[in-house]
């Protein structure tokens, strides 16, 4: 490795272009990425190859990929300082994935819970890509010799598989891969659905009132927060059997840096109406700088395409080193 990348540990973060990320993605992870990029050697990517396990319109995929790439840039990530790429523009990912397929046991792949869930959900299209998706994910991670990968609960099993494949191949052939670990950075807020606060906020939720998209207009954000599910008690405090209020407090805390105790004091004697209005205002303020930057970037197609080309070139140079060794 060149001395520049050798100094810092490598972190890989990929986002699928399957719909606009939510407030949950932002507060849980994205918000900390610019800071993470200062402390680590970071690679960020739009994982467009992963999103075609489900039938998709080429036109939609292209515009969503551009949107997600613009979102990455709008988070304050610099294409010069970081490597920000589109997965399909770095062919080494797919090339390594085939080799890793040959070192992944059928039983290991068949155990993946996400495959089972998605095979039920898309029963009319249970394709081989859906089955071998975790091996492509392992290739994404291992090709850059990543030390760390920020993963949610739903991807932990896939990271485990990447570790198993890396360990197995290292055992056979010497030190081919860095064995990756989950990234435990500054814990972001865990944001739940606004309509069913017992489950995580998700962009694929059929009820659009349950999530706030990072690109929702301020009016829409305010409306969604005002219609968030609460309870009949009418008092703002963090407690058992108050999942709706706990969720709103968690969001308000993440946006204002106030502790739960401070929030309880602030809304002492006030009702849920006042509280929701304050949460809505805090969310709109939190996302305002990101939104202004996104609107500027999305209208500069040339900047996006030249940043993509630069990212692909930087990523491919690094990926090629691993691939040729393998």
Active site residues: 118, 200, 203
- Structure token pair of residue 192: 């739940």
- The CB-based long-range contact list for 125-131 (8 Å cut-off, 24+ gap) reads 125/54, 125/55, 127/53, 129/52, 129/53, 130/53
What is the C-alpha separation between 217 and 159, in angstroms, rounded? Answer: 35
Residue 6: count of CB within 10 angstroms of its CB: 10
Name beta bridge partners: 11.
42, 148
Residues in the chain: 326
Q: Are 303 and 297 in contact (CB under 8 A)?
A: yes
What is the C-alpha separation between 277 and 279, in angstroms, rounded? Answer: 6
Eight-class DSSP state of 22:
B
Name beta bridge partners: 45.
14, 85
What is the C-alpha separation between 87 and 284, in angstroms, rounded? Answer: 31
Name beta bridge partners: 85.
45
């Amino acid at each position: 490795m060149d001395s520049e990348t050798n100094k810092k540990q490598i972190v890989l973060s990929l986002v699928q272009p399957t719909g606009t990320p939510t407030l949950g993605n932002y507060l849980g992870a994205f918000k900390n990425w610019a800071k993470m990029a200062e402390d680590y050697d970071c690679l960020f990517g739009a994982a467009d190859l992963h999103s075609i396990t489900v039938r998709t319109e080429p036109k939609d995929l292209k515009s969503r990929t551009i949107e997600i790439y613009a979102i990455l840039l709008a988070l304050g990530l610099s294409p010069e300082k970081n490597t920000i790429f589109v997965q399909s523009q770095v062919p080494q990912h797919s090339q390594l994935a085939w080799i890793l397929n040959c070192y992944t046991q059928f039983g290991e792949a068949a155990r993946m819970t996400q495959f089972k869930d998605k095979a039920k959900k898309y029963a009319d299209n249970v394709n081989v890509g859906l089955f071998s998706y975790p091996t492509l994910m392992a290739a994404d991670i291992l090709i850059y010799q990543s030390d760390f990968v920020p993963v949610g609960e739903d991807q932990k099993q896939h990271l485990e598989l990447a570790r198993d494949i890396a360990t197995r191949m290292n055992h056979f052939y010497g030190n081919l891969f860095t064995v990756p670990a989950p990234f435990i950075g500054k814990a972001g807020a865990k944001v739940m659905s606004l309509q069913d606060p017992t489950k995580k906020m998700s962009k694929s939720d059929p009820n659009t009132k349950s999530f706030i998209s990072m690109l929702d207009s301020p009016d829409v954000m305010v409306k969604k927060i005002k219609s968030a599910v609460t309870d009949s008690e009418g008092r703002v405090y963090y407690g058992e059997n108050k999942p709706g209020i706990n969720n709103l407090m968690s969001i308000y805390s993440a946006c204002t840096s106030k502790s739960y105790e401070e929030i309880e004091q602030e809304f002492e004697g006030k009702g849920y109406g006042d509280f929701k209005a304050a949460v809505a205002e805090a969310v709109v303020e939190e996302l305002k700088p990101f939104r202004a930057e996104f609107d500027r970037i999305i209208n500069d197609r040339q900047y996006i395409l030249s940043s993509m080309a630069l990212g692909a070139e930087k990523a491919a140079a690094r990926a090629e080193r691993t691939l040729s060794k393998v």
